[in-house]
Chains A and B, each alone.
Chain A
């Protein structure tokens, strides 16, 4: 009891002294994975690269805000020609790269031309596929001509992969990034942390946080200890929902559960018998109880989905009833398809959601008479065998890129799903600039995938944030992988 009193007194003292001081200007952030590079345009697809650099070190012509909407950034405004083919961007005045070089239209031309060029190693090269030419009209005006209309062109230019870099520093941006953003690289101790410091010459509003340290803690248990010890103020995208009970009990901390663009699916190899039969795929889909999976594998965090579209999108429609949990129907469909004693492989990548959901799905499919053989594979193994060679029957994975419904229209993709109707709709979405028509088409696309049972659609992957209660301005959702530090501040 004495100890308890002493603790309370100490806590009260801490509160009082805390209030008397000015608000903190530093923040320590934990990330599960270290970015392999700090150049989002050449460093590969790792989300960690975007989390560290997007909107912090590098900026694009447009930006995606926390609600997923397109906002002006380096381009303060733009004009679109009536045919939707020419975009004229007007650049902000007074923007400087962190090495002092002013930003000009030539830098924009260089960045876009490099990203779409022959030697490009940009992980999202498809974003630039429709660009026919980029011209610097004058120092502050860039004209981009497209080969065909593209509804989400401005959105695409807001991706982390489409940021503007300077030709002068392009070769060394991976280790020593130089962008136009509000923060510059302080130090990068590989394997341990990256420190960003406020850029005193930033063209926009001055941020509240002056120093941000991003620590790489791969082990969730270690991360929980670091958070409880007060070594870490913020962990966005916490991977271990099972550890949240411990965090919840701590009054200094807040937990925010938001959404990502990650559609978690039970992918089925549509090209392999008997999964090429829609009745068999339907039988598998109806055998799955999404709630059991979300509760069992995700401790209740995650939103059920019935097609390949994020619930946060305005065009989303709830199609979970198309593949509702109905084991009897499932058995009936299998009988109709003439399939018995079905035995399938289920390859699980190392992500914890996949490893946890696998055995539940195995059990659920066993209930309708489908035998499932689980094998755990490494990521690199998954990429070469499942993804590239299509050597699998079933696998579980979360597809995290925004607006990625187009992957079901790709012939060579590992789903091996082929539907001319779907391809046609996806192509039309690309060519349509009318927002209302786009919504209709996107809903059409969702229905096709749901009715074809192109995959077992499980849940939208949640974005779990753990942070100190006094830290404000955190992104609740992850419309794109980002962690803009300039939006954060400490309450006084």
Chain B
């Protein structure tokens, strides 16, 4: 168990170092000058030079790489070129939107997706199964930005139950914050729930076909007990992998939904950072997302051990 953990941890660290180098290099070769972007079309050459010095853009790349890395290790993520405020502050504000959004979406995904998949598998080839499969087909096929726009039209423009978008900030009260995140998280969650339901169903069907389930049933175990005690638990491994991937996607990939609902999340911060060449913010946010993804995978690998005792013994 300990050596398994140590191995996973080492691979986590190596991934992070490699990622930091790749991110830095990619950002380095992107064309465009942050100072020129900020000062616009009328800027004089001396003004550009003054701003470049102020932003620390005229230092050599190697020095900037190590300043960046060591800064991050100390929790100092640098100063955003555009906003001129610490990147850590910007990111913290955005995580306050993106993390709850991702968690809420993931919760909805699991709450909808898992039961749907289990029911469909348990009642294979029934009308329920067909209905669930049809619904998931639709959930995957409908583009989520379109679905998001539909939600806005129905619940904001016509019914006025929800604001059309924006995030009031947690300081205005938890309920208002939750209300601001509910429609976007539904828009994010439904396609994911559809994917999860299909994975759950097929994984469970595979497990239900295994010999040990037949044996358990032959020994007189009721169908429901065989399903819940043996099959579901064993079917969870591939499902966990998908859930891990989905969380990463929900945390980093919500940019389209963030745009439709104009939420101040990490996706929009990154997108805006790229267009405005606020490169210091971009590389920090990407690094943090990479860290989050790698860390979630690490957690998923630990979760395998919890679900599957064989891995525990082998380790």
Inter-chain CA distance A378–B277, complex, in Å, is 10
Q: Is the CB of A44 within 8 A of B38?
A: yes
Q: How far is the CB of A37 from chain B (nearest CB, A)?
A: 6
Q: Is the CB of A231 within 8 A of B164?
A: yes
Q: Is the CB of A45 within 8 A of B42?
A: yes
Query: How many pairs of A and B residues are in contact by the CB < 8 Å rule?
Result: 163
Binds B, one of A54-62, A300-308, A379-387: A379-387
Q: Is the CB of B31 within 8 A of A225?
A: no
Interface size range on B against A: 35 or more
A215 on the B face (CB < 8 A): yes
Chain A residues whose C-beta falls within 8 Å of the C-beta of B85 in the assembled complex: 174-175, 190
Chain A positions 82-109 with a Cβ under 8 Å from a chain B Cβ: none
Contact check: which of B32, B84, B149, B277 meets A221 at CB < 8 Å?
Answer: B149
Chain A residues whose C-beta falls within 8 Å of the C-beta of B160 in the assembled complex: 229-230
Interface membership of chain A positions 302-325, coded 1 if the CB is closer than 8 angstroms to chain B and 0 otherwise: 000000000000000000000000
Inter-chain CA distance A46–B50, complex, in Å, is 18
A420 on the B face (CB < 8 A): no
Interface size range on A against B: 35 or more
Inter-chain CA distance A104–B172, complex, in Å, is 39
Q: Is the CB of B83 within 8 A of A36?
A: yes
Q: Is the CB of B264 within 8 A of A192?
A: yes
Q: How far is the CB of B173 from chain A (nearest CB, A)?
A: 14
Q: Is the CB of B157 within 8 A of A228?
A: yes
Chain A residues whose C-beta falls within 8 Å of the C-beta of B44 in the assembled complex: 125-126
B27 on the A face (CB < 8 A): no
Chain B CB count within 10 A is highest, among A44, A215, A385, for A44
Inter-chain CA distance A218–B267, complex, in Å, is 13
Q: How far is the CB of A403 from chain B (nearest CB, A)?
A: 11
Inter-chain CA distance A119–B167, complex, in Å, is 38
Q: Is the CB of A190 within 8 A of B83?
A: yes
A222 on the B face (CB < 8 A): yes
A371 on the B face (CB < 8 A): no
Inter-chain CA distance A5–B6, complex, in Å, is 70
Q: Is the CB of B262 within 8 A of A189?
A: no
Inter-chain CA distance A383–B152, complex, in Å, is 36
Q: Known contacts being A216-B262, A228-B157, is A192 close to B47, with CB within 8 Å?
A: no
Chain A positions 1-52 with a Cβ under 8 Å from a chain B Cβ: 34, 36-37, 43-46
Contact check: which of B39, B262, B275 meets A380 at CB < 8 Å?
Answer: B275
Interface membership of chain A positions 335-352, coded 1 if the CB is closer than 8 angstroms to chain B and 0 otherwise: 000000000000000100
Inter-chain CA distance A399–B40, complex, in Å, is 11
Inter-chain CA distance A262–B73, complex, in Å, is 47
Q: Is the CB of B165 within 8 A of A383?
A: no
Inter-chain CA distance A36–B275, complex, in Å, is 12
B11 on the A face (CB < 8 A): no
Q: Known contacts being A191-B264, A381-B32, is A225 close to B157, with CB within 8 Å?
A: yes
Chain A positions 224-277 with a Cβ under 8 Å from a chain B Cβ: 225-226, 228-231
Chain A residues whose C-beta falls within 8 Å of the C-beta of B262 in the assembled complex: 192, 215-219, 222, 226
A434 on the B face (CB < 8 A): no
Which chain A residue lies CB-closest to B37?
Answer: A380
A404 on the B face (CB < 8 A): yes
Interface membership of chain B positions 71-99, coded 1 if the CB is closer than 8 angstroms to chain A and 0 otherwise: 00000000000111100001001100000
B139 on the A face (CB < 8 A): no
Chain A positions 184-206 with a Cβ under 8 Å from a chain B Cβ: 189-193
Chain B residues whose C-beta falls within 8 Å of the C-beta of A121 in the assembled complex: 39, 47, 50-51, 54
Q: Is the CB of A378 within 8 A of B32?
A: yes
Chain B residues whose C-beta falls within 8 Å of the C-beta of A37 in the assembled complex: 82-84
Q: How far is the CB of B82 from chain A (nearest CB, A)?
A: 4
B276 on the A face (CB < 8 A): yes
7 residue pairs bridging A and B, Cβ less than 8 Å apart? A45-B40, A121-B50, A123-B40, A175-B83, A175-B85, A229-B152, A379-B37
The 7 closest A-B pairs by CB, nearest first: A45-B40, A191-B264, A380-B32, A44-B38, A36-B82, A226-B164, A229-B164
